[in-house]
Structure 1
Amino acid sequence: MSREPRGVQSIEVGARLLMALAEQAEPMMLRDIANAAEIAPAQAHAYMVSYRKSGLVEQEEATGRYRLGPFALMMALAKLRGFDPIGVADRRGRMLCDETGLSVAISVWGAYGPTVVRVLEVLGEIHMNTRPGTVYSLTGTATGKLFAHYLPEALVSATLRQQRSEAARSRIVGSAVDLRQVQAEVDFVGDHGYAVTDSTPVPGISAISAPVFEVGGQLSLALTIIGRDDVIDRRPESTHLKALLAAANDISAQLGHFEKPEGRMAAPANASAGRRPRRNEDDKGLT
């Protein structure tokens, strides 16, 4: 077994200081930064002096508090230029697939609703009829209910009307019903941080879906594990669920988000790509 190469300890200590600043929205006192990095304030001060000279941090003249500086912003922007949420999710999703022995679907918001962009299958487990380009219903799938909880009500209502239209039914997987019929399941997402379906929309096949967030707390994509009812463990204490949530959190962290947002979120950047459906009598009463 190969050993981890020896690193530079001072750089690792310095990284803990910068991480402490990155995790706080407000400027911090030196003692608080030092406590977070688990080093003495005097040692932390020496790092801050060098970081100020390099532009990694800056110090407020009035309060003496520290925050990340312009060079840290340049580094963040350089990282964002190579931003690839799907690639990050694909790599971590393959690990999740190997860990659980379950198939994994990665979905984003598309013109007609939650749309599958990657399917990672386990050989010999199940043959899914889910493929890249598959659109999930907002009310009949675990992935859909996840998006229904986190996205704005107006966007969800408009998309659901579109999904319920005669023209869209043939390309939507899962039932498209009045949102009030599944409101308890949508609210479950907010209380527990994931969504579950039992033998729907495919009999004998169940799924668990977890959200992945990006910088600013916006929903980036959904990570969903899929398997036979007698294989996938949907209990709150299950190892399958724990592995899924750990993977979703890992991807979120790699995309720059470290905390679970509360309530509904802003519409995705590509939400306008969907065609605005015409309102008709069947749409009355939809929420």
Structure 2
Amino acid sequence: MTSPSPAVILRNAGVYLLLLFGLLVTVAPFVLSVMTAFKTPEQFASESALRPPSPATGENFASLFGGERNFVAPIVVTAQVVGLVTVGQLLFSVLAAYAFARIEFRFRDGLFWLYLATLMVPQVVTIIPLYTLFSQLGIRNTFWALVLPFLFGSPYAIFLLREYFRSIPEDLISAARLDGAGTLRILRSIVVPLSRPILTTLTIITVVTHWNNFLWPLIITSGRTWQTVTVATAGLQSQYNGNWTLVMAATTVAIAPLLLLFAVFQKNIVSSIAITGFK
């Protein structure tokens, strides 16, 4: 076995150095946030930001969850919103994607591509009409105002599922129809079980997207009753502008569920990247 040439070794070393630099740039903000969260305001003001906390303290987290701040409530609200939106996205996206993929009806392809074209519309364009609509309906600053715009599927989710459903062999669906299965039975017994990888992908994407959603909750809610994690963290930045250790504690708490999600579903996330990239 011949040893690699110096040019190959140098090229590989350059690739690994580039990857290491990208890793540092990506991970450094999170590490800095966690280190700052365990510092006192005095340590943060007098020491370098890159220096680890010595000694580490949990007073920022105690202050965050105690007293008037009550950071538990935004976490509960966000978890409820994410849970309901995820269920709605999966249910309605599966139904719509199957219709666009397997059911023949007039103008099917035209309607699909017209609906998909809404991906080109920025979110900020629809915020004012949605805000006006919800205000006139009297549901501004309510739980349903946070949920309804995202509950009934999305163009990206329907497109992703449609492409996957089209890859399922037609013979399986035809055989089920010959056995007397209806559309819902085919969906429940054949399409959904065969689509678990892409459904896992969509679940992960939906959870991460709506856990981090900021603009719509900021606009449609006021006060603390229906604050989400992102809005509550932004409120700390304005309310306690000089206390960055408290703000970093809130940021650490906000990203902790996503880190846990990554740790539990690491293999699914890697496979989801491959699936979405391929599709």
Which structure carries more relative contact order (alpha carbon 8 Å, separation 6+)? Answer: 2
Pairwise TM-score range, normalised by the shorter structure: under 0.3
More strand by proportion, 1 or 2? Answer: 1
TM-score, length of structure 2 as denominator length: 0.25
